[in-house]
Structure 1
């Protein structure tokens, strides 16, 4: 089974997402590039800047390979609601090398369960106050 590997990056300075294509906007940043080894490089109109020059500016979130009930891609850091109204945030567990919510991994919640992305931990952190 092939899983699509994609990322998105949250810019802590500009408070905006760079989508999986890592397109930039005219002006300061033209694009954000991710190397095969996971290093970020920011390209501006005049230079290439390695991530060591902007520590903690970007947060990388990986695509889980799943979509919610509306067809929206689910990324690490997303906040989802299940069919019973329970609010959960998507996290990566390095011990099991799997994405999950709470005590459930996507092997169990991703098959036959109805979940909906309602926000993310950067733009909507107050949604986590609703966790049951």
Structure 2
């Protein structure tokens, strides 16, 4: 069983939050708790309501080839696309190369979104060009062998071609 861990990003202040606990209420409201003194449980506490301005991102349970934990929202470099068994629609030859992708957790499974530009070239998957990329499941052996965390969508949007804020 994988550990259940989260990290929190404050979209308003553009910074990571330290959270000790969080609560999810019946209406979906999320409160983040930070204890101000670790030695005394009853001491002062800060309580922040998490909404659209605070993003919770879950640990996938996977580590990259350098041993770094991989979270939802991380940006990874995939060194070898051969692990996904992709083929070109031109002649069914295996797609080779590397790409940079965003990690997403969907229904409890970890995926990367392979961009259609790999090693500077437009790639066609199957019969059509996928303008928004192709999702692929990441297994533990793929993560530890071919994946490296190089940033996240908040601190490094430029890695995916987005604007840096």
TM-score (norm: length of structure 1): 0.70
Among residues 45, 49, 58, which one is paired with 1:62 in the alignment? 58
Matches within 5 A, 1:1-132: 2-18=1-17, 22=19, 33-35=21-23, 39-42=30-33, 49=47, 51=49, 55-83=51-79, 84-94=97-107, 97-102=108-113, 103-107=135-139, 110-112=140-142, 113-129=145-161
Higher alpha-carbon Rg: 2
Counterpart of 1:81 in 2: which secondary structure?
strand
1-structure distance, mates of 2:138, 2:56: 19
2-structure distance, mates of 1:101, 1:124: 16
Any idea what the Cα deviations from partners look like across 1:47-101, whole Å, max 9, x if unmatched? 75452xx63221000000011111110000000001143000001223xx31111
Runs (5+) with no aligned partner, structure 2: 37-43, 80-96, 114-134
1-structure distance, mates of 2:17, 2:34: 13
1:44 positional shift: 8.4
Distance 1:42 1:57, change over 3 A: farther
2-structure distance, mates of 1:44, 1:71: 29
Distance 1:47 1:114, change over 3 A: closer
2-structure distance, mates of 1:18, 1:41: 9
Q: Is the 8 A contact 2:59 2:72 kept in 1?
A: yes
RMSD: 2.7
2-structure distance, mates of 1:47, 1:72: 30
2-structure distance, mates of 1:47, 1:119: 30
